């Protein structure tokens, strides 16, 4: 099952971020932009949920 399908079925946004246990501070600092984009995407999904739920009820 894809994360998109799971989001639709559960009505809950799903995000995925993977970091390794041995990540150095230097690598973590380079990845801050990726983390910010992931947070922005999660917030966008949460904001879209009411519209998606209304659409699902209308079917």
Total residue count of the chain as it appears in this document: 59
pLDDT tens digits, one per residue of 2-46:
777 887 788 777 777 777 788 899 998 998 898 888 889 888 888
**pLDDT number for residue 52:** 76
Q: Which of 36, 32, 15 is nearest to 23 (CA)?
A: 32
| Pairwise pLDDT comparison (47 vs 16), residue with the higher score | 47
Contact 7, 13 (CB under 8 A): yes
């Amino acid at each position: 099952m894809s994360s998109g399908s799971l989001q639709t079925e559960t009505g809950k946004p799903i995000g995925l971020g993977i970091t390794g246990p041995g990540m150095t501070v230097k690598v973590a600092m380079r990845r801050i932009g990726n983390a910010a984009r992931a947070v922005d995407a999660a917030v966008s999904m949460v904001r879209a949920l009411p519209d998606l739920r209304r659409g699902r009820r209308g079917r």
